[in-house]
Structures are given as structure tokens and as C-alpha cells.
Amino acid sequence: MSDLLLNHLGGRWVAGTGSGSALADPVLGNELVRVDATGLDLAGGFTFAREQGGAALRALTYRQRGELLGAIVKVLQSHRDTYYEIATANSGTVKNDSAVDIDGAIYTLGTYATWGSVLGDRRSLVDGEAVPLAKDGAFQSQHVQVPVRGLALFINAFNFPAWGLWEKAAPALLSGVPVVVKPATATAWLTQRMVKDVVDAGVLPAGALSVVCGSSAGLLDALQPFDVLSFTGSADTAATIRRHPAVAERSVRVNIEADSINSALLLPGEAAGTPAFDALVKEVVREMTVKSGQKCTAIRRVFVPVALYEAAAEAISARLTKTTVGNPRNESVRMGALVNRAQMASVLEGLSYLKQQTEVLHDGAVHALVDADAAVACCVGPTLLGTKSPDAANRVHETEVFGPVATLVPYRDAEHALQLIRRGEGSLVASLYGSDDAALARTALELADSHGRVHVISPEAAAVHSGHGNVMPQSLHGGPGRAGGGEELGGLRALNFYHRRAALQAAPAVLQKL
């Protein structure tokens, strides 16, 4: 049997008492490690995190906690090669795709580390200006933000075992809040190893960082009113979480990052072969193939003027044809595997569901696998679908196929495009491609209420933009409606979730001492 990974809870490493769930290599099919959380003292471990980890973190200033993040960066950098090996084996990703997760995590941590020094040597934040409550300002109201006195529980999705942990842990630890992470079982190994390296390096106070690998059973029951819960995953699990008494009755603050039918829009007035057209084609192909489309931010719907439907189909397909699919260990392979058989079955099922309302413009099945056995490997070629009836094809606007699949959607005019995009009912990101700055700005504002992020690619930005699907710590991540209604990152805004705001009403002399 493979090794059983330990959990870190209550300041010590502890094994589950069950036989565990096996994690597998999605390309070769072999078992890698096992995880198990049976029999853990969750209540005791959570108390230890709150009381030991929380108190130790809160005793530090933001600047000092930023330095802790900097120390974590150094630890992770020194083990980077191991993380790439784990990602190849457990996530089936090619090097460039592993980088999105691993280096994205390290970059995000490093960015928050520098923001610690911006906040400086203080332990609470002043929120806005004091306003008078009495004549002559002798009595005033000043809002402050202080770290929550609970813990932050992260329940994460399988597709970002590294970044998913650190993009949340960076603002939490910087805020002075201890972290317990429960990674998705399928890819828990990388999360567990990173936590192990950081804990073993002794850079954090005891109780500041814990990991529970395996079943989620009992985790929410152990939450208390001042804890916060950050969930990333499917809309179905999100709904279960929202109904849990911890959230529904004990008011545990919850942030939900769920699925999303993201869009790319080529604005009216562009012809085939213009820089805007080419930028859209390039970005769509990149988004479909990076991490085999297993990105919550990936482009799922591609909107083009009706006159450009054929030209866009041709240009995207021509690029997709060149995508080599298979074993990520083979240097010639550009796209690796889906994470496991269950996800592969779900992608194939979603694809056939969408096919009933669409035509196939590029068939993923034509991609012969390189260096991989199709009977074992969870590899799926990229498929571009298209619809000539965008209003009737409701499934295209409602179904997230979490794999290398996108649908080309023609629109009549700008208003029609916006209407169709909004049928996603709230998304993480939309990207716009065009050359008319005013039209781009107008469209961005039109979409800002239904998207957490609008990524605009004008000719000036084409060579330097950060990528439709890349989540940058400087920008908000999250989206309204079906995307979960959450907000993460966005610079120091991320700290709001880990702080409580209170109004202090006092004389100016008292407020000046804050």
C-alpha cells in the first residue's frame, strides 16, 4: 500500500485511523499516496489553532506578519522541484501548467509579503475618517478593523492545490488569522507537502497553519461564530455549505468561489485578421488548453459578430490542431490530463450534453495521445463547439464543462452580445477584444455588475496583458450570482474578510490614541 499522508492539527502530525483514500496518477494510473481524516480531534485541533496560533499571530504587527510570508516564500522556493514532481504525478499537468499553480502561489505570497510593510507596525486598521457625532466634534465615530478571533477554514477545489491554499492563506496570515486547510482529496498531496515543508521549517507560530486531508466530515460542525470559512468548488457543494448550521445559524462568515461560464467577446467592427481578432483567437486557445481547461476562470463562451463565425471557427481550430495531448513527462506534449476518471467522465458527459444543442467545430477526439495509453490516461483533446442559435441554446449559457471545451457564439449587435453574456448569471471574468478604446470602456462598465473582473485587450495591451484566466493578487477574484458571490484578493481588500469592522465612538483624544 502507498504511504498515508499525515494531517497537521493541534500543533502535531497525526494519522487518520481509517485505511484512507488513494490518490492516483491520472496518466499512468498508479496509486501515489493515501489520505485519511478519520478519528481526528477536530474540535480540539480547532481550539488549539484559535488559542495558540491566533494569539501568536495577533501579537505580531502587519509588517512582522508580512515577514513571515516572506519566510514562507523562501521555504517554498527551496522545495520547488519537488512540487513540480508532485504536480506532474498527481495532477497530470505539463510544466507550464504546474507553474500557473505553484509559481502563481509563490508570487501571490510574495506580493502580500511586501504589502505587510506598507501596513507597517500596527495591529489594527483604521477604516475611513472620524466623523462628528456631537457639536464641535467633541464626540466622534471612527471605524476600525481588527483581526477576527477565530480561525480561517479553507475548503479547496482540486484544480489549484498550491495557489488555492496560498492565495487565501497570504491575506489570512497577514491579517493575523490562523489557517486550517482541507484540500480536495484528488490532489491533496501538493497542499499537504507545502504545509509540511512550512511547518517543519518552523517559520510560523504553532497552530498558525494546519492541514486536514481526506473527508470533510465534521469540519463545519467544529466551526464557531468568529471563525471564517472560505470555500472553492462546485455550486452544488456550495449550496450544502450555505445550509449548514455553522453558516445558517452561527453566522460563520463565508466566502464562496464557485463555477462560472466565463466569456470572451470580440467587439463589433473588427475584421478577421485584425490584431483584436488574432488576440481573441490566441487567448481562447490558451484558455481552453492551460491545465486542460480545469480553471474556474477559463473561457467557456466565445462571442463574435455573426459575420465572423466561420473565420473565428477556422482560426481557433487551426491553432487547436497543433495542441499535442498526452503524458506531461514527454517534452513534446503541450496539454496533459484531467485530474481523474471521475472528472473525465464528467467532462465527456457535459460535452455530449452541450453537443445536443451545438455543432462540433474542432473535435478533441482527433488528438491521438502522445506517450499515454488511452485506456488508462485521463486525457481529453480540446473541443470547440459552436451554435448558430445562440438564443435557443440555453445549455451553452448554463453548463460549465470543467475541461478543454469552449463554444463559439455569434451575435447580431453589441446589445445582443451583452444579453447573451448575462445569461451566464454572474461570472468570474469576461475578456474584451477590440481597437476602439471608448467602446471597450463602455462595454467593460456594462459587464462590471455581473463579473468580478473584466479583462480588456486593446492593441496597446495585447503584448503585455496578464492573461484572461490568470488571477493576479492585485485584482479582485470572485463573481456574483452563480460564480458564488465571493470576493478574494484585490490587493489589501482581501484583508476585509479576515477582519471585523467596528465603530468606536469616543472623544477625539481617545481616538487619536488608536
The set of catalytic residues is 257, 296
Q: CA 85, CA 90: separation in Å to the nearest integer?
A: 9
Q: Which residues are bridge partners to 132 per DSSP?
A: 140
Closest distance to ligand NAP from the beta carbon of 49 (Å): 18
Closest distance to ligand NAP from the beta carbon of 60 (Å): 29
Nearer to ligand NAP, 27 or 188 (CB): 188
Closest distance to ligand NAP from the beta carbon of 118 (Å): 25
For the record, the C-alpha cell of 26 comes out as 491520472
Q: CA 61, CA 103: separation in Å to the nearest integer?
A: 27
Q: What is the DSSP pairing of strand 488-489 with strand 499-506?
A: unpaired
* Residue 483 · residue 123 · CB < 8 Å: no
E strand or H helix at 501, and its extent? strand 499-506
Closest distance to ligand NAP from the beta carbon of 310 (Å): 30
Q: What is the CA radius of gyration of the chain?
A: 24
Q: CA 460, CA 455: separation in Å to the nearest integer?
A: 13
Q: CA 385, CA 134: separation in Å to the nearest integer?
A: 65
Nearer to ligand NAP, 188 or 369 (CB): 188
Residue ranges in 290-379 assigned as alpha helix (H):
309-321, 341-355
Nearer to ligand NAP, 187 or 387 (CB): 187
Q: Measure Cα distances from 100 to 60, 361, 379, 428, 492 in Å.
A: 31, 28, 19, 17, 22
* Residue 207 · residue 48 · CB < 8 Å: yes
Q: What is the DSSP pairing of strand 140-147 with strand 125-132?
A: antiparallel
- Enumerate binding residues for ligand NAP (CB under 6 A): 155-160, 182, 184-186, 215-216, 232-234, 237, 240-241, 257-259, 296, 400, 402, 428, 484
E strand or H helix at 189, and its extent? helix 188-201
Q: CA 145, CA 127: separation in Å to the nearest integer?
A: 6
Nearer to ligand NAP, 19 or 78 (CB): 19
Nearer to ligand NAP, 157 or 209 (CB): 157
Longest dimension (CA), the chain: 79
Nearer to ligand NAP, 96 or 234 (CB): 234
Closest distance to ligand NAP from the beta carbon of 160 (Å): 6
Closest distance to ligand NAP from the beta carbon of 214 (Å): 7
Give ∠ CA 329-181-114 in degrees, rounded to 5. 85
Nearer to ligand NAP, 240 or 321 (CB): 240
Nearer to ligand NAP, 84 or 160 (CB): 160
Give ∠ CA 312-300-169 in degrees, rounded to 5. 135
Q: CA 434, CA 89: separation in Å to the nearest integer?
A: 40
Comparing every residue's Cβ against ligand NAP, the nearest one is 233
Closest distance to ligand NAP from the beta carbon of 333 (Å): 23
399 class by beta-carbon count within 10 Å (0-12 exposed, 13-18 middle, 19+ buried): middle
Closest distance to ligand NAP from the beta carbon of 410 (Å): 25
